[in-house]
Amino acid sequence: MMSKEETNKNNNMLTGMTHECGVFGCIAAGDWPTHIDVAQVICLGLVALQHRGQESAGIVTSEGNNAKNFHVKKGMGMINNIFNDESIRQLKGSLGVGHTRYSTSAASEEVNCQPFVVHTAHGVLCVAHNGEIINKEKLRRKVLERGVGLSTHSDSELITQALCLNPPDGERNGVDWPARIRHLMSLSPLSYSLVLMEKDRIYGVRDPYGNRPLCIGKILPLNCKDENVGEEGWVISSESCGFLSIGARYVREVYPGEIVELSRTGIKTISTVERPDNKPPAFCIFEYVYFARSDSVFEGQMVYSVRMQCGRELAKEACIEADIVSSVPESGTAAAHGFSRQSGIPFAEVLCKNRYVGRTFIQPSARLRQLGVAKKFGALSENVAGKRLILIDDSIVRGNTIGPIIKLLRDAGATEVHVRIASPPLHYPCYMGINIPTREELIANKLDNVQLAKHTGADSLAYLSVEGLKIAVRRQLVPREKDGVGHCTACLTGEYPTELDW
């Protein structure tokens, strides 16, 4: 157990909002056993989602109709450390589900690794979850009162066990998984994107607010350019960024509240659960700002394009005279290009990021700690010397990153450094699957723009407004008529999609 002092020291080293989780499923079309390397597809799909969670991962496969049991491999760490050729070979099957985890509701330990697998009266069930149940204490009591035992504190195990409850209207022809899923959705409105597997099919489920992402792709035959040719299988994933590298094509999102079934014969919508009181959808706006990989597509638009537009809106709101616009790599770069194009000030790289410096590194001495997170970066001094810079980052959370970078740039000869942040200040916690520091740790709750500029050594500092962020996100968005437009902005505005005490 860490002492409070050690925890604080650790938090002083942390940067950003720690991510969420990635879920992935794959099912072969046509005859089974399939020639498709299902476990490998899932493994590569998870590698593409690695940015969403690096604590643990797992893959579960099924051989189909007659499967009494699933093949399971889970472990702590990154995908590459858990899976190798041999373990992938043992994960036989024509369908399967994978997960990569960043813990939010229970410790980062082997018992809480996902996917969860349970044996029910109706066969084996496997569940992978991204999100966090907002009413987990109440749901936990309900499930325990029904005589079910829980072996962990994970809300994802809780979801798994809640799915084992008989639905209130009973089941006519044997087990009715869709009815069980609808029952779960009536017990908890937020927040989950789920990939479930029973012996021969996969269900994709997105909560009625669509808070977490989930999308569908199809696997095309090798070297096939014609997307209308029959597919060889289907994939379902938190993000679309990995699809091309596994030979799949993006098909569409799973819609808020939708339950979609993937079987060897194709995909179909089973039902769509409505939000209460005509409330708008609440897709996490921070997926666009920071969490997602920039080549992913949400709501019909590429994340990179939205990030560029955030930079354009920021330039409209808070431009200043300077020689170059630059970014804090990685995720600030798209916005910096947008800022540059809107303002006409040329873009130049000023920082080189060391990609091998991870989050959990040796605890540095006091002297090194003072040098701070700039150890992740080097300055491209010829681009910097004698220049007035506008430095763009996507977000400021604890404020640990930006100060040491400004010092580095000044040491490299920058004459002015103006910080512009392509998202609004963070003020409130997230209860929906993202670890945002406590209110006290969020720097925007302690310092206003002028104070923060002074604290970090910037010549000036400004954030994008909430309105500006919404404009950037919604500019090209074509709403599905049924759903309207809506995004969760709770960590910026304190306006949560629904009451938290559900």
Ligand X SMILES: NC(=O)CC[C@H](N)C(=O)O
C-beta of 421 vs 430, nearer to ligand X: 430
391 DSSP β-pair partners: 326, 419
Beta-carbon contacts of residue 250 (< 8 Å; ≥ 6 apart): 215, 217, 240, 243, 297
Q: What torsion do the CA atoms of 235, 240, 241, 244 make, to the nearest 10 degrees?
A: 50
Residue 374 binds which entry of ligand PRP, ligand SF4, ligand X, none, with Cβ cut-offs from 5 to 8 Å by kind?
none
Q: What torsion do the CA atoms of 143, 144, 150, 156 make, to the nearest 10 degrees?
A: 30
- Is 394 assigned a ligand-binding role in the annotation? yes
Work out which of 13, 72, 76, 106 binds ligand X, going by CB under 6 A: 106
Whether residue 211 contacts residue 284, with contact meaning beta carbons closer than 8 Å, is answered with yes
Whether residue 17 contacts residue 434, with contact meaning beta carbons closer than 8 Å, is answered with yes
Nearest Cα neighbor of 42 from 101, 97, 3, 104 is 97
Q: Does 241 qualify as catalytic in the annotation?
A: no
C-beta of 192 vs 234, nearer to ligand SF4: 192
User: Which range in 63-71, 89-97, 293-301, 395-403 contacts ligand PRP by CB under 6 A?
Assistant: 395-403
For residue 26, the minimal CB distance to ligand SF4 (Å) is: 27
Site for ligand X in 108-127 (CB under 6 A): 112, 114
Q: Does 285 bind ligand SF4 (CB under 6 A)?
A: yes
- Is 393 assigned a ligand-binding role in the annotation? yes
For residue 420, the minimal CB distance to ligand X (Å) is: 29
Count Cβ atoms within 10 A of the Cβ of residue 180 and give its class: 0-12 exposed, 13-18 middle, 19 or more buried.
buried
- Is 164 assigned a ligand-binding role in the annotation? no
Q: What is the rounded CA–CA span in Å between residue 484 and residue 238?
A: 22
Q: Does 156 bind ligand X (CB under 6 A)?
A: yes
For residue 21, the minimal CB distance to ligand X (Å) is: 3
Residue 399 binds which entry of ligand PRP, ligand SF4, ligand X, none, with Cβ cut-offs from 5 to 8 Å by kind?
ligand PRP
In order of 238, 426, 438, the CA distances from 446 in angstroms are 34, 11, 12
C-beta of 238 vs 395, nearer to ligand PRP: 395
Only one residue has tokens 């700002």, namely 289
Residue 397 binds which entry of ligand X, ligand SF4, ligand PRP, none, with Cβ cut-offs from 5 to 8 Å by kind?
ligand PRP
Q: What is the rounded CA–CA span in Å between residue 81 and residue 69?
A: 25
Q: What number of other Cβ atoms are within 10 A of residue 141's Cβ?
A: 11
- Is 323 assigned a ligand-binding role in the annotation? no
Work out which of 430, 452, 453, 472 binds ligand SF4, going by CB under 6 A: 430
Q: Does 200 bind ligand PRP (CB under 6 A)?
A: no
User: Which range in 35-43, 158-166, 399-407, 454-462 contacts ligand PRP by CB under 6 A?
Assistant: 399-407
Work out which of 25, 393, 420, 464 binds ligand PRP, going by CB under 6 A: 393
Work out which of 132, 155, 239, 394 binds ligand PRP, going by CB under 6 A: 394
For residue 280, the minimal CB distance to ligand PRP (Å) is: 27
Work out which of 196, 210, 491, 498 binds ligand SF4, going by CB under 6 A: 491
Q: Does 286 bind ligand SF4 (CB under 6 A)?
A: yes
For residue 131, the minimal CB distance to ligand SF4 (Å) is: 9
Q: Does 103 bind ligand X (CB under 6 A)?
A: yes
Whether residue 339 contacts residue 420, with contact meaning beta carbons closer than 8 Å, is answered with yes
User: Three-state SS across 392-455?
Assistant: EECCCCCCCCHHHHHHHHHHCCCCEEEEEECCCCCCCCCCCCCECCCCCCCHHHCCCHHHHHHH
Work out which of 284, 373, 397, 453 binds ligand SF4, going by CB under 6 A: 284
* Complete DSSP assignment for 52-89: G--SEEEEEEE--TT-SS-EEEEEES-HHHH--HHHHH
- Please report the sign of the dihedral spanned by the C-alpha atoms of residue 314, residue 320, residue 324, residue 329: negative
**Residue ranges for the binding site?**
284, 331, 393-394, 430, 488, 491
Catalytic residues, by residue number, are 21
Interface contacts to ligand X, rule CB under 6 A: 20-21, 101-106, 112, 114, 129-132, 154-156, 433
